[in-house]
Amino acid sequence: MKKNTGSCLCKQITFDVDKFQGLIGHCHCKMCQKFHGAAFSTFVEVKRIDLNWLSGDDLLKEYRADNDTVRTFCSCCGSSLLFESKYNRSEESIEIALATFDSVEVVHADAHIYTESKADWFNINDNLPQHRQYRR
Ligand SMILES: [Zn+2]
Ligand SMILES: [Zn+2]
């Protein structure tokens, strides 16, 4: 079985994931745009117990936003790593920024979400379903 392993930009934080859970969405909300410094974020959901820190977990830093979501990043290089909402807390799951994986099983995003706040300078050019807000 192919291992899903990832790291932050400075490579001090490394992790692996036993298996993915649920859906993978491109999120166009304004908070993801700010946090990633990009047009959108792509997060994959995993169960908390399936995420293992291999190194550098003492460098993890959290930012809790006004809407009670928590974003985790590397305090050395600033890489965006995790997202957690109330939904995730009730499911004992966490969302991991898919782009931080160095080796990953074949997965595909299945939707665009929060397109109501999509950046004007970015055009969606695929046929994935688009949701103005969250899809669940
Ligand atoms: Zn780092
Ligand atoms: Zn978002």
pLDDT tens for each residue of 98-113: 999 999 988 999 999 9
Residue 93's pLDDT is 95
Q: Which helix (H) or strand (E) holds 74?
A: strand 70-74
Residue 91's pLDDT is 93
Mean pLDDT to the nearest integer, 36-40: 97
pTM to 2 decimals? 0.93
- Which ligand ends up closest to the CA of 78? 1
Q: Is 2 a residue whose pLDDT tops 70?
A: no
Distance 64 CA to ligand 1 centre (A): 19
Distance 52 CA to ligand 1 centre (A): 16
Two tokens at 71? 């974003």
Distance 77 CA to ligand 2 centre (A): 21
Distance 75 CA to ligand 2 centre (A): 21
Measured CA distances, 82 to 70, 100, 128 (Å): 8, 10, 24
Distance 85 CA to ligand 2 centre (A): 10
Distance 68 CA to ligand 2 centre (A): 13
- Which residues face 116 on adjacent strands? none
Closest to 36 measured CA to CA, from 109, 94, 98:
98
Q: Which helix (H) or strand (E) holds 93?
A: strand 93-97
Taking only the tens place, the pLDDT of each residue in 42-91 is 999 999 999 999 999 999 999 999 999 999 999 999 999 999 999 999 99
Distance 13 CA to ligand 1 centre (A): 6
Taking only the tens place, the pLDDT of each residue in 5-32 is 999 999 999 999 999 987 899 999 999 9
Two tokens at 128? 């994935």
